[in-house]
Amino acid sequence: MKISNSLKRVIILELSIPVALLILGIYHGLMQTIYRAGILHQTSFLKLEYYQGLTLHGVINALVLTTFFAVAFGHATIAFYLKKEPDRRWTWISFWLMVAGAVLAAWAMLAGKASVLYTFYPPLKAHPFFYLGAALLIVGSWIPLFNWARIYVAWKKDNKENKTPLAVIGTLVNFIVWFVCTLAVAYEVLVLLLPWAMGFTTAVNVTLARTLFWFFGHALVYFWLLPAYIMFYTMLPKLAGGKLYSDLAGRIAFFSFLIYSIPVGVHHQFSDPSISRGIKFFQGFLTYGVAIPSFITAFTIAASLEYAGRQRGAKGWFGWMVKLPYLDPDRYLFAYLISGLILFIFGGLTGIVNASYSLNNVVHNTAWIPGHFHMTVAGPVFLAIIGMSTYLYSKTAGKRVFLPKLNVIIPYLWSIGVLIFSTGLMWGGLIGEPRRTNLGMTYLNRDNPLFHPEWVPTTTLALCGGIIMFIAGMMFILVFFGTLFSKRKEEAILELPVSEVYHDEKRIPLFDKFQPWLVIMAVIIVLAYTPAVINATQNPGPGAPPFTPDSPVPIVTEKTK
Amino acid sequence: METRDDEEQFFPHGAVAFFVLFVALCLVIWYGIYFLMLART
Amino acid sequence: MAVLDKYERRVLISLGATVALFIFSILYAKGRYKSDVPECLPFNKAYTEPKVNKIDSTTYQVFAVAQMWQFQPAEIYVPVGSVVDFFLTSKDVVHGFDIAEKNANMMAVYGNINKTTVKFEKPGVYNITCHEYCGIGHQNMQARVIVNYPEQ
């Protein structure tokens, strides 16, 4: 499909800007493994302080990269499948708001005034620009949903009997969940934190802030994941040379995400005070609901790949696994998606552990947690983002991929790195190694009384994995920018691989419309979160004054004295 | 779209085998942590 | 669901069975071993002063206060076999409180009280580690529970 220069430009910018930022984001990933293994016993390196770098790592990789990509990929799926481009003016307004937000937040972090990590829990306070930047990034990302929804409604009028394309269901579900969950964090940031950070209010209810954050924070991971799911269902079977085993399974998966993504956030607060055990248990139970899409996907994609393998002559129960185009440079997206799926097996299953109520006591805030999430966000999410960024860029810009043979091995090298890295972290976590800590200063410093020798092998493993990941990441930067700086050699088009379906199930209206699911989503959210918010407002005592990371003395200004 | 007559009927036995192993792995990981938790009470 | 492929239906059933198994196991651990998430208490100023209360020879209460960048009390002595209720709060930012070998894993939050109970059956030194970023001194923040046999 040929697209306008305007859409092409906005997509290319939304893909390239975060990839450029990724250089810094991945650099500080590597740096952390170096500090944590005790190679460095310092608070900073090359003028970047450990916790400042950790904040940059989380914000760039988990908020900026993922949001920009989701918007760009959303524009692409809507335009490609519904054959209508999003409104020009609003796509650019959205873009500039997101860029302005990212710039403000980046300034605050780089200036060392926002070393609060990507969760920015109060009473740790960041510079007001950090909060403002976050708000602008989020508001900018809301805009496309309304535009796409209007395009969809118009398409439906002309296509009453046709099934909505699965990729469109995925994109709309993703952004509906995003819009609803970000309302809570926007409230937290703009109403609770920004006035407090600027000194207009003196105390903040920390538990309420955390509860609002996690209303957002869990659904956030599905916002990251759903673009990859869209690729697994609508592209991977085709890339493998097969067909999607069941389109209906994909719809069940996406609508399950719509209803279960948000009302489970309290499972990040199992260790928090003031939220009742009953609500924690209920939301833990609901979290098992969000395992539905993952289990369905595991089977459906395996079946689709098995079909592909059998088309190529595979025999027996597992022969199909061998007969897939793992190293075909012309189908490199297959490599990125399949390695993500392999990592996701471990990432998803460890996630189920984390959601399991009392089991959380074993793992909460230990290194197990980043071990888990590097097999999800740094697994299928990251690989889908970088693979598709190269793909979408090269197609819309009409360029050939730079170093295609290198491009196809990057996901495998990355995955080996992640497996080693996460093994080290999870092992360490189970023996008490904390996350979010500059271990090199004390716990991994032989000259320090707090030295913990049992964390040496675990952090060394993480270091080895981190180095491999860093190399793979830099290879990707090379391939992406090599492609970017190359000359146009192909027709510039918007194109996505499209899978055929094996079981072409008849259109089922329930799985082809949003209204009933939106109602169920709203009901479950109200049931799950009303008690939690009541707990968070009634049980705590006084609110907290602001603190900066460098001092136990709270900030008291003229206004607040 | 019907499955073509010249395609054999496809039963995803390999996917079922994979899925069984996947659930088994799920149980191994989960109960690993569960029994670790019980040992620490 | 009749129109859903029969294998997909079985996938959903296996998930249901697995989830039921997990919920049963969690409830069993809760009933038999008291394995649970921290207890929810409304705020009370009394818990904001660090303290160790001996209720009787095998029952203790610790009012643990986390702050930038230490726990108070920093060293807690209890005899082997004692049951300790830890009440936790923070004087400033959010801190973590983790006794890894005993499933005691809580967040310390200003204006909030958290509670968990630990039975120390074996002697030894148990580290309490802060595992939530709390500023530049976070990696220095560790306290100890020292469990020993009582003096004869």
Task: Read off the pLDDT of residues C65-76 as tens digits, 9 standing for 90 and up.
Answer: 999 999 999 999
Which positions in chain A touch C104 (Cβ < 8 Å)?
361
C89: closest CA of chain A, how far (Å): 9
Interface check for B3 against chain A (CB to CB < 8 A): the answer is: yes
CB atoms within 10 A of CB C151: 5
Whether residue C94 contacts residue C114, with contact meaning beta carbons closer than 8 Å, is answered with: no
If pLDDT is split at 50, 70 and 90, which confidence band does C152 have? low
Whether residue A209 contacts residue A190, with contact meaning beta carbons closer than 8 Å, is answered with: no
- Residue C98: closest CA among C132, C50, C70, C65: C132
Per-residue burial over A430-450, b if 16 or more Cβ lie within 10 Å, else e, is bbbbbbbbbbbbbbbbeebeb
Domains of chain A: which residue ranges?
Answer: 5-538
CA dist C106 and C88 (Å) reads 8
Give C31's strand partners.
none
B3: closest CA of chain A, how far (Å): 7
561 residues of chain A, pLDDT tens digit each: 999 999 999 999 999 999 999 999 999 999 999 999 999 999 999 999 999 999 999 999 999 999 999 999 999 999 999 999 999 999 999 999 999 999 999 999 999 999 999 999 999 999 999 999 999 999 999 999 999 999 999 999 999 999 999 999 999 999 999 999 999 999 999 999 999 999 999 999 999 999 999 999 999 999 999 999 999 999 999 999 999 999 999 999 999 999 999 999 999 999 999 999 999 999 999 999 999 999 999 999 999 999 999 999 988 899 999 999 999 999 999 999 999 999 999 999 999 999 999 999 999 999 999 999 999 999 999 999 999 999 999 999 999 999 999 999 999 999 999 999 999 999 999 999 999 999 999 999 999 999 999 999 999 999 999 999 999 999 999 999 999 999 999 999 999 999 999 977 889 999 999 999 999 999 999 999 999 999 999 999 999 999 999 999 999 865 554
If pLDDT is split at 50, 70 and 90, which confidence band does B1 have? very low
Q: Which residues, including other chains, have CB under 8 Å from residue A351's CB and lie 6 or more apart? A: A372, A376
Q: From the candidates A73, A435, A476, A529, give the one annotated as an active-site residue.
A: A435
User: Which chains neighbour C (Cβ–Cβ under 8 Å, 3 or more pairs)?
Assistant: A, B
Query: At the fourth CATH level, which superfamily is domain A5-538?
Result: Cytochrome c oxidase-like, subunit I domain (1.20.210.10)
Per-residue burial over C79-117, b if 16 or more Cβ lie within 10 Å, else e, is beebbbbbbbbbbbbbbbbbbbbbbbbbbbbbbbbbbbb
Output the pLDDT for position A382.
98
CB atoms within 10 A of CB A207: 29
Output the pLDDT for position A129.
98
How far does Cα A320 stand from its chain's mean position?
A: 30
Q: Which residue has the tokens 């495998």?
A: A412
CA torsion, ordered A452, A50, C140, A417, to nearest 10 deg: -20
CA dist C93 and A206 (Å) reads 9
Tell me which of A71-75, C34-38, C147-151 is least confident.
C147-151
- DSSP labels for A287-323? HHHTHHHHHHHHHHHHHHHHHHHHHTT--TTTHHHHS
If pLDDT is split at 50, 70 and 90, which confidence band does C2 have? low
Domains of chain B: which residue ranges?
Answer: 13-41
Output the pLDDT for position A556.
82
Percentage of chain C surpassing pLDDT 70?
98
Grouping H, G, I as helix, E, B as strand and the rest as coil, residue C106 is strand
Q: Nearest residue on chain C to B41, judged by CA atoms?
A: C102
Q: Nearest residue on chain C to A55, judged by CA atoms?
A: C133
Higher pLDDT, C150 or A307: A307
CA dist C128 and A482 (Å) reads 50
Does residue B4 register a pLDDT over 70? no
A251 belongs to the catalytic site: no
Output the pLDDT for position A62.
96
